[in-house]
Amino acid sequence: MLVWTTQTVSLVGSSAVRFAFIVQVWASGQRATAVTLLSLCSLLPQALFSPIAGAVVDRISKRAALQIADAGGLLSVGILAIFHYTGSMHSWELYPATFLLGSCAAFQFPAFASAVPLLVRKDQFGRANGLLAGAKSAAGICGPSLGAVMLTLTGIGPLLLLDVVSYACALTGSRLVRLNGDRIPEPGTGAPRRKITAEAVQGLRFLWVQPSLRALTMNFCLVNLVMVFGFALISPMVLLKSGDAALAAVNTAIGSVVWPAAC
């Protein structure tokens, strides 16, 4: 529960900051292209790195994987906060920051998911994985609302600081908790360790040869491919017609649709 709580706080903070980035980019020129490019900077690293993220996480301890992902997010948002409070922050800096946050997210969730068997008993796996899915849904529900409220009341500066604190909480939680059997896996005796890409390909091959997993994976790919085009268009369309408060409500409604399935 300690790891789940702190990681959920981190996910909510990141969701709020991503919402703020969209509003900031839109305010700088009201161009749909800029907002869509920002979404691409978030999704592209996850698409690129997710296939190898599991292989990378398997080579290091789960605690280290969680801390590296959280530290990368803290560093990215922390640098933006410094730029903001020194008066040197520009809109273009949000794009590489979003790319770095997307890269960290690609490794954070596999590390979080693979840490579940080290945190709970086998008979609690179902409940723990339900909480894991619920954490992502909670970020989708609470993040946009929190981002909209703080942008209205305080501006983006305190929101960046809040996200820095959320990453610090996640780092502290993963450091304090005890992960049973969290050791760096050793290769077989006398067998050289294979390349990360080879291990990633082996994982994809395993999914493909299992009929049920193959169908599930193809279904996920198709649904996400269709949904990503809609999500890319929602933000500029709502911002053009109704503003950031309406966009926060729409994004919260989208997250609420996912929440019952996660529970």
pLDDT digits (tens, 9 = 90+) for 127-146: 888 888 788 788 888 888 88
The model's pLDDT over 189-240, given as tens digits with 9 standing for 90+, comes to: 444 566 777 777 888 888 888 888 888 888 888 887 777 777 777 888 888 8
Question: Are the C-beta atoms of residues 159 and 17 closer than 8 Å to each other?
Answer: yes
pLDDT attached to residue 193: 63
Kindly give, in sequence order, each residue whose CB lies less than 8 Å from that of residue 215, ignoring residues fewer than 6 positions away: none
pLDDT attached to residue 79: 92
Structural tokens at position 51: 């296939």
pLDDT attached to residue 165: 92
Phi–psi pair at 178, nearest 5 degrees: -100, 120
pLDDT attached to residue 261: 43
Counting Cα atoms < 13 Å in the Cβ hemisphere of 148 gives 16
pLDDT attached to residue 190: 47
Q: CB 246: neighbour CB atoms within 10 A?
A: 13
d(CA 173, CA 176): 5
d(CA 144, CA 71): 23
pLDDT attached to residue 198: 79
pLDDT attached to residue 161: 92
Residues of the chain under the 50 pLDDT cut: 189-191, 259-263
Question: Are the C-beta atoms of residues 65 and 111 closer than 8 Å to each other?
Answer: yes
Question: Are the C-beta atoms of residues 9 and 69 closer than 8 Å to each other?
Answer: no
Which domains does the chain show, CATH number per domain?
Answer: 2-177+196-262 (1.20.1250.20)
d(CA 34, CA 23): 11
d(CA 60, CA 68): 11
